[in-house]
Amino acid sequence: MTDLGKIDRDFFDEHVYPYLGAERDDELLGPKHGVDFGVIELGSMANQTASDDVIDMGEQVVALATDPISILPELGFERAGWFAFHVVMSDVAVSGLQPTHLAVDFNLPPEITDEEFATVWKTFDREASELGVSVVTGHTARYSGCQYPWVGGATTLAVGKKENLVRPDGAKPGDSVLVTKGPGVETAGFLVTLFEDHIDLPEETIEDAKERFYDMSPVEDALVAADAGNVTAMHDATECGIHGALVEMARAADVKFDVSHDDVPILPGVLEACEFFDINPWESTTEGTLVLTVAPESTDAVLSALSDAGIPAAEMGTVREGDGVYVDGSRIEHPDVDPSWQVFAEYADRD
């Protein structure tokens, strides 16, 4: 197992994947290493309206994903709540279905005050209301031994039509590979916001990097793209960044990705911040960045819709027959360990 961050593929295949409980016929997509969500089939459903008309809702599915809740008081509890909410939404949003329900477990450290938790929870409520998500169950308590930033977990559900589901293993030869926002968004926005006092960079660069904070959500990216055209697969580029996401997507679909960094958008402050922390921006966590594959006839429509929504995006390559990911002709492997974890630990110790 890796010392920090998500478990690697070998550990997953040996210790997790063989032990998944009972097999059920309604499971459409189960756990796989590097896959963001699972799917359950509900079958064909109908809805009776107030006028007694029956509307055929077609085949319905539930996409669901579980993630830890991370609260960093140093961000301020409103920003910490915003980030925590969007992290737990992002994995299910890449299903292409609108998130609909949320179950939350808070295991809080004893020192959190009622007012601080209220700020976090009101932020969850505000963001959920804007997204149309209902909180349906949960658990909230203080416990001795709990500590920041890991204070619980959440499961997000998206209920929708099976025909609208974007599978994580759906990339096909001939598809375009697109990316939004570019590399290192979270690394820059998060680390610079937290450790500004330790950073020796021009003030303008620091402010540019700090402005990346509210770019750290791929939820709008995913929903806009899925609504605009034939999106075949999506993956948020969290741990191990864009390179990690590309490898996981290609591996899931058993295809080859031929890509280039040249046209990928790079937001202000990112490269400077990553250079300061001695982090490869292409292999570091970049919550907020979406990697997606799109049928060629939909590429222009998806890029146009993202642009209209104010989301920087570009085509970075093509899906082909074969296997692996090739950047400018050279094969890359999965980074396995995200470099930002060690940097975060080192600077947290300084504080």
Using alpha carbons, list the distances in angstroms from residue 36 to 64, 88, 106, 168, 259: 9, 11, 22, 8, 22
In this prediction, residues 223-236 reach a mean pLDDT of 97
Provide the pLDDT for residue 347: 84
Q: What is the pLDDT of residues 326-338, one digit of tens each?
A: 999 999 999 988 9
Q: Who has greater pLDDT, 72 or 48?
A: 72
Provide the pLDDT for residue 314: 98
Q: Is 249 a residue whose pLDDT tops 90?
A: yes
Q: Is 49 a residue whose pLDDT tops 60?
A: no
Distance CA 259, CA 254 (A): 16
Residues in the chain: 351
Provide the pLDDT for residue 321: 97
Provide the pLDDT for residue 54: 47
The torsion angles phi and psi of 244, rounded to 5 degrees, stand at -60, -40
Consecutive H or E run containing 303: helix 299-308
In this prediction, residues 148-169 reach a mean pLDDT of 95
Scored b (16 or more CB within 10 A) or e, 171-209 reads beeebbbbbbbbbbbbbbbbbbbbbeeebebeeebbebb
Other beta carbons within 10 Å of 103? 17
Q: Is 246 a residue whose pLDDT tops 70?
A: yes
Q: Is 350 a residue whose pLDDT tops 90?
A: no
Q: What is the pLDDT of residues 284-300, one digit of tens each?
A: 999 999 999 999 999 99
Q: Is residue 226 very low, low, confident or very high in pLDDT (cuts 50, 70, 90)? A: very high
109, 148 contact by CB (below 8 A): yes
Q: Is residue 51 very low, low, confident or very high in pLDDT (cuts 50, 70, 90)? A: low
- pTM given for the model: 0.89
Q: Is 128 a residue whose pLDDT tops 80?
A: yes
Q: What is the pLDDT of residues 79-123, one digit of tens each?
A: 999 999 999 999 999 999 999 999 999 999 999 999 999 999 999
Q: Is residue 44 very low, low, confident or very high in pLDDT (cuts 50, 70, 90)? A: low
Q: Is 46 a residue whose pLDDT tops 70?
A: no
343, 291 contact by CB (below 8 A): no
* Closest to 297 measured CA to CA, from 219, 232, 217, 240: 232
What order of strands is seen across the sheet that includes strand 256-259? 231-236, 290-294, 176-180, 313-320, 256-259, 324-327, 330-332
The torsion angles phi and psi of 36, rounded to 5 degrees, stand at -80, -30
Cβ neighbours of residue 214 under 8 Å, at least 6 residues apart? 82, 189
Q: Is 48 a residue whose pLDDT tops 60?
A: no
Work out whether strand 290-294 and strand 231-236 pair parallel, antiparallel, or are unpaired: antiparallel
Q: Is residue 323 very low, low, confident or very high in pLDDT (cuts 50, 70, 90)? A: very high
Consecutive H or E run containing 239: none
* Closest to 171 measured CA to CA, from 255, 246, 228, 90: 255
